[in-house]
Amino acid sequence: MSDFSMFFAGQSSAEITEQFVVSVRFKDAEGNPVPWKLRSITEEENQECRKAATRKVKGKNGIFTPEVDPNEYMSKLIVASVTFPDLKNSELQKSYGVLGAESLLRKMLLPGEFAALGERVQALNGFDRDMNELVEEVKN
């Protein structure tokens, strides 16, 4: 009988967290760029993001098919992964004149900053490695 206790809940490392400077435009009192705090999410949370970004699109013969809006999905994935600043904070949203965390991200960040944050969030959640790389790493 093989031992698979290493797969039991509590045996694997919990969520991964890291800090990332999204923009040099956000500075603390000493003038240093303020890093954002990011966390990895579970596949269950990822499915919620994907589902929330999915719309039914009317196709041929009036048949509706589900379609994921990649921009909306990315915004939801980022919001789920950012723990600081609190993108759901109503005062922060109000200061930018928006409602909703996804709208806040789009208003706060420059396009390049948004893209860099998206890349970092994807890497943190394991989207930056393909299966062949993982197999090779395990072999070594």
Q: For 65-75, write each residue's pLDDT tens digit.
A: 899 999 999 99
Percent of the chain having pLDDT more than 70? 84
Q: For 1-54, write each residue's pLDDT tens digit.
A: 467 777 676 666 667 899 999 999 999 999 999 999 999 999 999 999 999 999
pTM of the model: 0.81
Q: For 93-129, write each residue's pLDDT tens digit.
A: 999 999 999 999 999 999 999 999 999 999 999 987 6
Taken in order 17, 104, 71, 24, is the CA torsion positive or negative? negative
Quote the pLDDT of residue 5.
73
Percent of residues in the chain assigned helix, strand, coil, to nearest 5:
45, 15, 35
